[in-house]
């Protein structure tokens, strides 16, 4: 695959990574395991440590001096550029601006050491749309995304004069910091919205501000439960069923029907943009179909217990084993259970626990047996809560859109600067990317 740089200023050169830097990465783990981590020792950086604007040298793992010294090419130096080369966060880049203590990296991170280019400028080149687009092309079609050293070495690099590289990097340090402060402010607003959302749900699950009651041993994380409410297991108020395991060979041949997976279900909404299709036998059609008003609940993974009500937008639709289908069988609407699950998850009820279980699961038996508070006037409480949560979600949508625009502006600014679309010595940063198409 060949990736071309855009037209550069006439006095700039073109190169590639291996001609302006060395690239090194850990080959396997040399039998290194998590069991070897030490309470203190030599810093061992992983992907979460380089995700932020600055490298996090505090929340790290530690390894022994022997393990640190056995890979001398990975002993970090100031000016090194770190690139995530494995996993879903592939492409994240950061710069070692200072080293508070000796450090190295794990097998997910490549160490790019500049030899003929400014490290800060190289960091921004690797963050630009040009390089990130190349990385996305290289990782396409892989089960576990991975960048080979051969690919990293051949990434194209624009090369302005060294003094200009430094001016560009200084400019971008200032302007991206400005954008990052705005992003942090939006993040704080999103966190405040989540706190408000949980307060609204907790208020509902406790019967409202005027209710009187006491704490329950079932839900010590709820403020209180009204004394005149019922308490019972989920199965007493809803029908529940787990979807069918669908085999890939059923994805061709006879009539195919769309079905939902846990990837389609998020809190309060079901995304049908990326659905798969399978053939269902006649005796499966009723059992594994979803109808308007059904609650779909994620069975496992990071999204365990996330739930949303199906609106029937697709006439014939089914659900896979990764989802529970919940149907109302009493006067208690399924939205009540959805809000209970939302609050319970925020309180850590469905987190994986112990040293063995690393992926949380919500089995059918667990879901059916969970004891939940049953309100006297659930319809009214849900109507009031739906309105409030709707307003919160509208605000969240606006903030997420703002975050996306800031991210796009940040990358457009970086791309324009490192490809010479404007002279940073005269640019202010504000509106500097208007009309830029890089």
Across 405-421, average pLDDT? 95
For residue 190 the two structure tokens come to: 């999103």
The position carrying tokens 């939006």 is 186
Using DSSP, state whether 35 is helix, strand or coil: helix
Total count of residues recorded for the chain? 438
- Per residue, what are the HEC states of 339-359? HHHHHHHHCCCCCCCCCCCCC
* CA separation for the pair 416, 65 (Å, rounded): 43
Half-sphere exposure (Cβ direction) of 308: Cα atoms closer than 13 Å: 17
> 21 burial class (0-12, 13-18, 19+ CB within 10 angstroms)?
buried
Is residue 47 within 8 Å of 198, Cβ to Cβ?
no
Across 161-174, average pLDDT? 96
Residue 321 lies in a domain: yes
Q: Cα angle at 41 between 39 and 47, to 5 degrees?
A: 85
pLDDT of residue 49: 95
For residue 6 the two structure tokens come to: 């855009």
DSSP codes of every residue in 128-190: SHHHHHHHHHHHTT-SS-B--HHHHHT-EEEE--HHHHHHHHHHHHHHHHHHHHHHHHHHHHH
Alpha carbon separation from 16 to 119, 125, 291 (Å, rounded): 14, 11, 55
Residue 223 lies in a domain: no
Residue 88 lies in a domain: yes
Distance in Å from the first CA to the final CA of the chain: 20
Residue 84 lies in a domain: yes
Residues 235 and 344 in one domain: yes
CATH code of 295's domain: 3.90.220.20
Tell me the pTM.
0.80
pLDDT of residue 218: 65
pLDDT of residue 250: 59
Across 188-199, average pLDDT? 96
Which of 329, 347, 374 is at the close of a domain?
Answer: 374
Q: Which of 42-46, 136-140, 238-242 has the lowest mean pLDDT?
A: 136-140
Residue 3 lies in a domain: no
Residues 259 and 146 in one domain: no
* CA separation for the pair 319, 244 (Å, rounded): 7
Q: With CA atoms as reference, report the closest residue to 297 among 236, 368, 245.
A: 368
Residues 242 and 327 in one domain: yes
Is 433's pLDDT higher than 60? no
Is 432's pLDDT higher than 80? no
Q: Which of 184-198, 248-262, 277-291, 318-332 has the lowest mean pLDDT?
A: 248-262
- Per-residue pLDDT of 26-67, as tens digits, reads 876 566 777 788 899 999 999 999 998 999 999 999 999 998
* CA separation for the pair 136, 145 (Å, rounded): 9
Using DSSP, state whether 81 is helix, strand or coil: strand
Residues 238 and 149 in one domain: no
Residues 139 and 258 in one domain: no
pLDDT of residue 327: 95
Residue 43 lies in a domain: yes
Is 388's pLDDT higher than 80? yes
Which of 346, 374, 402 is at the close of a domain?
Answer: 374
Percent of the chain's residues with pLDDT above 70: 88
How confident is residue 267, by pLDDT bands cut at 50, 70 and 90?
very high
DSSP codes of every residue in 235-284: GGTEEEEE-B---GGGGSSS--EEEE-GGGEETTEE--SS-EEE---GGG
Q: What count of other Cβ atoms lies within 10 Å of the Cβ of residue 241?
A: 15
Per the structure, the count of domains in the chain is 2
Is 185's pLDDT higher than 60? yes
Average of per-residue pLDDT values in the chain:
87
Residues 17 and 154 in one domain: yes
pLDDT of residue 435: 46
Residues 54 and 139 in one domain: yes
pLDDT of residue 301: 85
Helix (H) or strand (E) holding 374: strand 371-374
Inter-helix orientation angle 378-418/119-127, to 10°: 130
Is residue 371 within 8 Å of 231, Cβ to Cβ?
yes
- Per-residue pLDDT of 93-102, as tens digits, reads 999 999 999 9
Using DSSP, state whether 192 is helix, strand or coil: helix
Domain hosting residue 257, numbered range: 230-374
Which of 374, 398, 414 is at the close of a domain?
Answer: 374
Residues 24 and 138 in one domain: yes
Residues 131 and 266 in one domain: no
The residue among 130 and 285 whose pLDDT is bigger is: 130
How confident is residue 354, by pLDDT bands cut at 50, 70 and 90?
very low
Residues 152 and 262 in one domain: no
Which phi and psi (to 5°) does residue 176 adopt? -70, -30
Residue 20 lies in a domain: yes
Residue 244 lies in a domain: yes
Percent of the chain's residues with pLDDT above 90: 59
């Amino acid at each position: 695959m060949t990736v071309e740089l855009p037209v550069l200023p006439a006095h700039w050169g073109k190169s590639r990574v291996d001609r302006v830097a060395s690239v090194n990465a850990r080959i396997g783990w040399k039998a290194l395991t998590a069991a070897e981590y030490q309470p203190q020792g030599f810093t061992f950086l992983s992907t979460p440590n380089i995700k932020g604007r600055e490298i996090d040298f505090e929340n790290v793992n530690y390894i022994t001096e022997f393990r640190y010294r056995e890979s001398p090419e990975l002993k970090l130096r100031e000016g090194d550029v770190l690139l995530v080369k494995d996993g879903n966060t592939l492409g994240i880049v950061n710069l070692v601006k200072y080293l508070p203590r000796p450090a190295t990296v794990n097998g997910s991170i490549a160490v790019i050491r500049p030899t003929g280019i400014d490290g800060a400028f190289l960091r921004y080149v690797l963050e630009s749309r040009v390089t990130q687009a190349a990385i996305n092309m290289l990782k396409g079609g892989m089960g576990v995304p991975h960048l080979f050293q051969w690919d990293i070495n051949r990434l194209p690099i624009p090369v302005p004069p060294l003094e200009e590289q430094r001016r560009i990097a200084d400019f971008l340090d200032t302007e991206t910091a400005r954008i990052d402060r705005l992003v942090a402010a939006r993040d704080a607003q999103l966190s405040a919205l989540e706190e408000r959302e949980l307060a609204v749900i907790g208020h509902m699950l406790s019967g409202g501000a005027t209710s009187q009651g006491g704490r329950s041993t079932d839900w010590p994380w709820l403020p209180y439960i009204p004394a005149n409410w019922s308490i019972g297991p989920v199965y007493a108020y809803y029908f529940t069923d787990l979807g069918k395991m669908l085999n890939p060979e059923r994805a061709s041949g006879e009539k195919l029907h769309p079905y939902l997976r846990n990837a389609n279900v998020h809190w309060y909404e079901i995304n049908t943009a990326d659905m798969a299709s399978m053939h269902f036998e006649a005796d499966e059609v009723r059992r594994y179909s979803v109808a308007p008003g059904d609650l779909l609940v994620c069975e496992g993974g990071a999204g365990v217990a996330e739930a949303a009500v199906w609106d029937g937008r697709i006439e014939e639709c089914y659900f896979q084993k990764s989802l529970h289908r919940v149907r109302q069988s009493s006067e208690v609407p399924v939205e009540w259970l959805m809000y209970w699950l939302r609050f319970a998850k925020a309180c850590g009820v469905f987190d994986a626990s112990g040293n063995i279980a690393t992926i949380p699961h919500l089995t059918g038996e667990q879901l059916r047996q969970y004891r939940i508070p049953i309100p006297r006037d659930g319809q009214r409480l849900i109507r009031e809560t739906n309105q409030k949560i709707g307003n919160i979600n509208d605000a969240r949508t606006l903030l997420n859109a703002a975050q996306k625009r800031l991210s796009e502006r940040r990358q457009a600014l970086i791309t324009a600067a490192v490809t010479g679309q404007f002279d940073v010595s005269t640019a202010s940063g504000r509106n500097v990317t208007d009309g830029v198409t890089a």
